[in-house]
A = this chain, B = another copy of it.
Amino acid sequence: MKLSSRIHAMQESPVRKLVPIAQKVKQNGKKVYHLNIGQPDIETPSVFMEAIKNYDSRVIKYSFSQGEPVLIDAIRDYFKKDGIIFDKDDILITNGGSEAISFCAIAICDPGDEILVPEPFYTNYNGFTGESNVNIVPITTKAKDGFHLPKKEEIVKLITPRTKAILFSNPGNPTGTILRLDEMEMIKEIAIEHDLFIISDEVYRGMAFDGLEGLSMGSIKGIDDRLIITESVSKRYSACGARIGAICSHNKGLTKEIMKLCQARLCVATLEQIGAAALYQLPQSYTNEIRDEYQARRDVVYEALQKIPGVVCEQPKGAFYVVVKLPVENAEDFIIWMLEEFEIDGETIMLAPADGFYATPGLGIDEARIAYVLNVEDMKRAMYILEKGLIAYNQR
């Protein structure tokens, strides 16, 4: 019995594939600072569990395929604050932002169709598309440009008759880059001129530093029929394990068809939706506090990185990641070495190799993604361990 070609073609998660090594060294008593995964240490707001505990849970029933009305309304209110108006049937609740993007790929693309994605990109986009035989065509962006988009003609020349959409995360994972208004307008132009869908992954929205606004693509006029925003409670509300996301679009033909996918898998976990509704109802002040906390962490990390010889990176402007060029040949080898061979007083760090965030072979081999998801003191310690580790690695 052979397995499918498509499953063989899928990559292992670069964020998770080294986890067994980390588990092993942790079992042997080493402490590992996990900067490899976007799992914040910030407490999930207590309203989440309170809502679940207060729910009448005598029978844990199927939810609606579209999602719990209370959660749909809460997401509509969340967008309304920015003047973005969604109808009740414009929002479909999904198993995290993950399922939102998987469903978009299936609904927009047949096997062999293409989606443009600026690279480096959130590595699981490969999974969400590969499993349904959709091809990602990378738009390469560079650290020296702050990972901003290249000129329009560079993007347009990648478009083929099979190109169906452009997908990006804003704020960017793994880059921390915030799209400028002129970039958003360029995406709009390209999408209209080449009849593409725009899939705007906004799960980090609100986490924009240095006074930047971090606009939703929903604020751009004239693309209502082609824009899909994907949402999640994971990052903004520190509820990664809730697995609650959403597809938001004014294109009623699209949402009607995606409802078939929602119906096929019946529904998303009922209790988690009840909790998530409470999260979306939190005031803006909550999000601002979280943003300020991440900005403080960003400052610690960026300042420390600037001082490490041979490390090159741009200052990230949002989300909670930074892509760094390391003074090593192969970042993955270094990351494994840090886990297995290095420690300071029984402690080490774990990063994510960045090559998995690129679709173009050969890019990112000497880069890593750092998720600054730990508190300021832990991040300081982790950067110290990184600095000493790099010295020791290069003196082997």
Contact = CB atoms under 8 A, between A and B. Distances in A.
Nearest to A132: B132
13 contacts: A1-B164, A1-B225, A4-B106, A4-B113, A7-B258, A13-B260, A39-B61, A44-B60, A60-B238, A96-B265, A124-B266, A131-B261, A132-B132
A267 B253 contact: no
Interface string A41-79: 111100011001100011111110100000000000000
B240 A60 contact: yes
Contacts of A17: 263
B266 A63 contact: no
A48 B43 CA distance: 23
Residue from A113, A126, A132 having most chain B Cβ neighbours under 10 A: A132
Contact of A111 (B12, B133, B164, B260): B133
A217 to B, nearest CB: 16
A154 to B, nearest CB: 23
A41 B124 CA distance: 38
A272 B261 CA distance: 22
A296 to B, nearest CB: 19
A260 B124 CA distance: 10
A147 interface: no
Residue from A164, A242, A243 having most chain B Cβ neighbours under 10 A: A243
A341 interface: no
A107 B3 CA distance: 6
Contact of A1 (B197, B238, B270): B197
Interface of A: 1, 3-8, 10-13, 16-17, 37, 39-44, 48-49, 52-53, 57-63, 65, 95-96, 98-99, 102, 106-111, 113, 124, 126-128, 131-133, 164, 195-197, 225-226, 238-243, 253-254, 257-261, 263-272
B263 A110 contact: no
A339 to B, nearest CB: 18
A16 B263 contact: yes
Contacts of A65: 13, 16
A112 B243 CA distance: 31
Copies in the complex: 2
A59 B40 contact: yes
Given A95-B265, A241-B62, A270-B241, A260 B11 contact: yes
A242 B264 contact: no
Contacts of A271: 52, 241-242, 271-272
Nearest to A49: B57
A3 B98 contact: no
A226 B3 CA distance: 11
Contacts of A43: 58-59
A165 to B, nearest CB: 8
A263 B10 CA distance: 11
Contacts of A53: 53
Contact of A261 (B7, B259, B268): B7
A197 B65 CA distance: 30
Nearest to A95: B95
A265 B127 contact: yes
Contacts of A259: 12
Contact of A260 (B42, B49, B127, B195): B127
Given A44-B57, A59-B238, A195-B1, A96 B266 contact: yes
A277 to B, nearest CB: 14
Contacts of A260: 7, 10-13, 127
Contacts of A258: 7
A44 to B, nearest CB: 4
Contacts of A113: 4
A61 B124 CA distance: 18
